[in-house]
């Protein structure tokens, strides 16, 4: 993933003066699953990054394979935006899966429409913790298998059994590089949120 | 290019000073809240980091997360500082809605309609 590096932030691209409301969706998943690519594909601005200091556990920390275990480290949060109407802008937050990222997860989850869980068929088990965390935060979610070239493509029923999401959770395939595919995935998620909100879940 | 341990420590100290040691603001702000500056001019009474945030927001509306991205300050720090700057009258939310409320059916429908109408080639 292209998450490393200190780049000069682009000049601020301000929102149109007519925009009055914002909405946000979290894009979550283990390191290297395509969160940054997804955000970049959907964003109308060059995605931005903020770095957070976190107290890190040595093991199971995402994006940090190249760095030795240490007590304090930084994780990057990538995000982008897409203006949907004259009044409304959607933010997409590519949220790292670190166990110690809890406070920021809670902050990001507050007021969010829901979460898109990206998964990779070659390492489905890496998604278990992420799905648990999304459920604990009470977020509605959809699961999208990122369609990596050469990755196995088990039937959806098998994937559902392996990932065991909440009943009625949408599960599909997505190509994080393809705008139409990303957009369809987000529509599926929001439709799911609308439906479950309607039944008062 | 990564800052060394010494730099990291001083950043932690800087974060502590900026937030006055608080983990969260009294006025909770979340990362997608849109803010703009209410004042023009150079706000010399503010410390450099706060001044930079206000001056950035003088250009137009941005989400709090974008303020963090453009200033290079950690999001957790910017959430607290922006809350303070709203309390202090330097920044104002672009919307009167409660930002932390769960999105209502009307907003959900608006997002859905907006996504359906997006042009994939844009």
With respect to residue A18, please indicate whether it lies within any of the assigned structural domains.
no
Question: pLDDT at position B6, please?
Answer: 55
Average pLDDT of span A68-77: 66
Structure-token pair, residue A129: 């913790």
Helix (H, G, I), strand (E, B) or coil at A8: coil
- Residue-level pLDDT at A62: 46
Distance between CA atoms of residues A134 and B45, nearest Å: 42
The answer as to whether A44 is a domain residue is yes
- Residue in B1, B7, B16, B65 to test binding to A, most A beta-carbons within 10 Å: B65
Establish if A15 belongs to a structural domain: no
Tell me, yes or no, whether A52 lies in a domain. Answer: yes
Measured between beta carbons, the chain A residues lying within 8 angstroms of B34 are 15, 19-22, 89
Pairwise pLDDT comparison (A186 vs B30), residue with the higher score: A186
Give long-range contacts, CB 8 A cutoff, 24+ apart: B66-70: B66/A12, B66/A48, B66/A81, B67/B35, B68/A48, B68/A50, B68/B31, B69/A9, B69/A48, B69/A49, B69/A50, B69/A79, B70/A9, B70/A12, B70/A48
Number of domains comprising chain A: 1
Q: Quote the pLDDT of residue B7.
A: 53
ipTM of the complex: 0.84
Per-residue pLDDT, averaged over B39-47, amounts to 92
Q: In a mutagenesis test of the A interface, which of B5, B13, B66 is the best target, namely the one with the most A β-carbons within 10 Å? A: B66
Residue B1 pLDDT exceeds 70:
no
Burial B30-39 (b: 16+ CB within 10 A, else e): bbbbbbbbee
Which pLDDT belongs to residue A53?
Answer: 72
Q: Which residues of chain A neighbour B121 with C-beta distances below 8 Å?
A: 179
Identify the band that residue A149 occupies on the pLDDT scale cut at 50, 70 and 90: confident
CB contact under 8 A, A53 and B12: yes
Contact: B76, A103; criterion CB under 8 Å = yes
Q: Which two tokens stand for residue A60?
A: 């199971």
Q: What residues make up the domain containing A31?
A: 26-199
* Full-model pTM: 0.85
- CA of B69, closest CA in chain A: separation in Å? 5
Whether residue A45 lies inside any domain: the answer is yes
Question: Is pLDDT above 90 for B15?
Answer: no
Say if A70 falls within a structural domain: yes
> In the predicted model, is pLDDT for residue A188 greater than 50?
yes
Tokens (6 digits) for B81: 């500082």
Residue A17 maps to a domain? no
pLDDT at site A76: 84
Largest distance between two CA atoms of chain A: 48
Decide which of A59 and B40 is more confident.
Answer: B40
* Amino acid B101: pLDDT: 72
Residue A5 resides in a domain: no
Please give, rounded to a whole number of angstroms, the shortest distance from the CA of B59 to a CA of chain A: 7
**Closest residue in A to B23 (Cα–Cα):** A103
The reply to whether residue B68 touches residue A50, judged by beta carbons under 8 angstroms, is yes
Between A and B, how many residue pairs show a Cβ–Cβ distance under 8 A?
149
From CA A105, how far away is CA A98, in angstroms rounded? 10
CATH number at residue A57: 3.40.50.300
């Amino acid at each position: 993933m292209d998450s490393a590096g200190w780049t000069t932030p682009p000049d601020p691209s301000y929102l149109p003066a007519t925009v009055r409301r914002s909405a946000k969706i979290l894009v979550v998943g283990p390191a290297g699953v395509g969160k940054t690519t997804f955000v970049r594909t959907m964003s109308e601005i060059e995605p931005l990054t903020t770095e957070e200091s976190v107290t890190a556990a040595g093991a199971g920390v995402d994006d940090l394979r190249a760095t030795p275990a240490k007590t304090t480290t930084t994780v990057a949060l990538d995000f982008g935006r897409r203006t949907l109407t004259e009044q409304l802008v959607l933010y997409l937050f590519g949220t790292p899966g670190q166990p110690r990222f809890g406070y920021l997860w809670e902050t990001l989850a507050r007021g969010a429409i829901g979460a898109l869980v990206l998964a990779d068929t070659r390492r489905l088990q890496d998604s278990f913790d992420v799905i648990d965390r999304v459920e604990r935060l009470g977020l509605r979610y959809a699961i999208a298998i990122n369609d990596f070239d050469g990755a196995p493509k088990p039937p959806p029923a098998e994937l559902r059994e392996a990932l065991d999401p909440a009943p009625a959770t949408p599960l599909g395939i997505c190509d994080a590089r393809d705008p139409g595919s990303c957009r369809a995935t987000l529509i599926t998620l929001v439709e799911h949120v609308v439906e479950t909100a309607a039944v008062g879940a | 290019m990564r800052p060394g341990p010494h730099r990291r420590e001083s950043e932690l100290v800087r974060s502590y000073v900026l937030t006055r040691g608080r983990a969260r603001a009294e006025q909770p702000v979340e990362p997608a809240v849109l803010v703009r500056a209410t004042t023009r001019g150079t706000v010399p009474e503010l410390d450099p980091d706060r001044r930079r945030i206000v001056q950035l927001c003088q250009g137009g509306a941005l989400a709090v997360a974008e303020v963090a991205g453009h200033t290079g300050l950690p999001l957790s720090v910017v959430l607290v500082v922006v809350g303070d700057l709203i309390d202090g009258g330097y920044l104002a939310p672009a919307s009167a809605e409660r930002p932390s409320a769960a999105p209502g059916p009307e907003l959900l429908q608006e997002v859905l309609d907006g996504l359906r109408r997006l042009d994939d080639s844009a």
